[in-house]
Amino acid sequence: MNVFADYAKKYASAGLHVFPCAARGKTPLTEHGFKDGTTDPAQIELWTAQYPDGNIGFACGPSDIVVLDVDPDKGGLESFKALCKAEPAIYAATRVTRAVLTGGGGYHYYFKAREGIQIGGVSVGKQGRGLGAGLDTRAHGGYVILPPSMHRSGIQYKWLRNVKPVEIPMELVAKLQVNKWTVSEKLTNEPVMEGGRNDYLMRAGCSMRAKGFAEDEIGAALTAMNAGRCNPPLDDDEVTQIVGSVCRYERGEQLDTALAQMRHQASNSSNAKKGRRKLEMRSYKDIKKENIEWLWFGRIPFCKLTLLGGVQGKTKSYLTHAIAAHVSTGRPLPGDYVNLNPKPADVLLITYEDGEGDTIKPRLEKLGADMSRIHSVDMDKAEFTCEDIPMLVELLEANPNIRLIIIDPMQNMMVGVDSKTDEEVRQALQPLIRAAQRLKVAIVGIKHFNKDESKSIDNRISGAGYAGVARSIIIAGHDNSKPYGPNHEVYAGCTVIKGNVAGMTHGILYEVNDRGLFWLGEDPSLSVETVERLLPRPPNKKKEKES
């Protein structure tokens, strides 16, 4: 594939200033490097003849783009996680803006530059003013490589979301070393309507302060501009607040616009308190009806969380591995009289207890799984926790063939979360559940019973918080109505005890032995009413005393 020849013109026609770079590299091949970036078809045609297989460089500044660069080799993933945790607005913006998975395993998040704010080509963690190790920005004086260019590792750059970039969040600008704050000289002579008034006055005030005007002069000018241009004018106290924010800086000082703009955002919050923010409503007549889609009919829905609970060591993990084997090969699951998902799909296993090489892989092989479609999360360096969910979402976006995630056991992921509190569990899992809804992925979390037999079954799944978030709960365990087989076979079953999105289904029986797990079919007698069959029998205290 000739990357530059095939794609450079397309990018240029979309307004991106491009230039050729070395094949499998980042070195510019033009005399002035990224400064030669252009949208001129004639120039690109000349470069195409010279460097048809070159990579595509993109000069960010001329296209008014700021790119947040996450470099995993320099600790960028850890810094990005900390940044998102500290600034939820930055995290939210990265979830919807244009994004690239780099050939080196990092990420590029594209943002539209804000008018009047010029960000330098590289902003690093220097003197506490940067973003952290492995996090840089590329803007004026910087460039990035565009997909499908080839990294030196032999891996292509890929679009995660090739959508319109959103405006760079002010919370991110506040953490960068802003090179220049200038207000466009083309301040509008047209009336400034609601929604743009604070921004208009803030820009004018910052420009005056940078030019050396005193506070009373700025106040008088903004008051006149508010009365003459803003329709309707802001309240006097809001104008006073803007003037105060601007004049926190010395006259003639280069202004940290991000902080000033954040003050402006804070003033906007007072608008909401005054009732200017209105709730919208819509009629259910206009809401599109959607059918539930199933990975396993009546038991495991797509787009939602399913809990698989039971006593520790009683076939739960084996059951999920059998389900994974079916998904990886497109085989129907028991009780699916019509194969709902005949196309093989990928499965992601996040496991904390069983060994991958000595337990899980041999088990999957016995179950007839397509091993190329079942993946694990590498936890050699650090265990996966709920704080890593943003990275898991990125992984799902980059691998759309994943249709099932299995977390075993779920409580190991939820470090620092109160499992008894529905609000905390919901808040921790919401980003993953929203991603599952958007990407049509089923989530199955294994939960061990706690030891308090006085509680209801759903509350025994290590906290009522999980039961409140899950849309389906399945109980699995040894079937105590059947003895062990002559060759130590285990007879077991599973049944749904909570189904918010479907009616209750029949239980499923299966046998586990040295050769694998074998389905024995549906059992109408196994249901939520008879789920005790899958729970350990209480000890016979009378016999214990006699002995």
Q: What is the pLDDT of residues 168-226, one digit of tens each?
A: 887 787 676 444 444 433 455 678 888 778 878 887 887 777 666 778 878 888 888 88
Helix (H, G, I), strand (E, B) or coil at 425: helix
As a whole number, mean pLDDT of residues 410-434 equals: 79
| Paired strand residues for 472 | 306, 499
Tokens of 161: 């979301």
Structure pTM? 0.50
Write down the pLDDT at residue 501: 62
Show the domains of the chain with their CATH numbers: 3-179 (3.30.2250), 183-271 (no CATH), 294-476 (3.40.50.300)
CA distance 21 to 259: 37
Write down the pLDDT at residue 56: 96
Bigger pLDDT: 209 vs 235: 235
| Paired strand residues for 66 | 111
Q: What is the mean pLDDT of the chain?
A: 80
CA distance 412 to 149: 39
State pLDDT tens for residues 85-109.
888 888 888 888 999 999 888 999 9
Inter-axis angle of helices 197-210 and 257-273, nearest 10: 150
Write down the pLDDT at residue 127: 37
The 10 Å CB-count burial string (b at 16+, else e) for 471-495 is bbbbbbbbbeebeeeeeebbbbbbb
Write down the pLDDT at residue 269: 47
As a whole number, mean pLDDT of residues 446-469 equals: 66
Write down the pLDDT at residue 243: 86
Bigger pLDDT: 312 vs 129: 312
Bigger pLDDT: 159 vs 427: 159
Helix (H, G, I), strand (E, B) or coil at 237: helix
Res. 426 pLDDT band, cuts 50 70 90: confident
Q: Is the pLDDT assigned to residue 125 strictly greater than 70?
A: no
Q: Is the pLDDT assigned to residue 300 strictly greater than 80?
A: yes
State pLDDT tens for residues 131-149.
788 888 888 888 999 999 9
Res. 261 pLDDT band, cuts 50 70 90: very low
Q: Is the pLDDT assigned to residue 477 strictly greater than 80?
A: yes
Q: Is the pLDDT assigned to residue 128 strictly greater than 50?
A: no
Could you please report the per-residue DSSP string of 185-223? Answer: S----SPEETTTHHHHHHHHHHHHHHTT--HHHHHHHHH
Neighbouring C-alpha atoms within 13 Å toward the C-beta of 177: 17
Q: Is the pLDDT assigned to residue 266 strictly greater than 60?
A: no
Ranking 48-62, 245-259, 350-364, 419-433 by mean pLDDT, the lowest is 245-259
CA distance 448 to 428: 19
Write down the pLDDT at residue 212: 67
Instruction: Choose the most confident range, by mean pLDDT, from 38-47, 230-239, 294-303.
Output: 38-47
As a whole number, mean pLDDT of residues 24-31 equals: 92
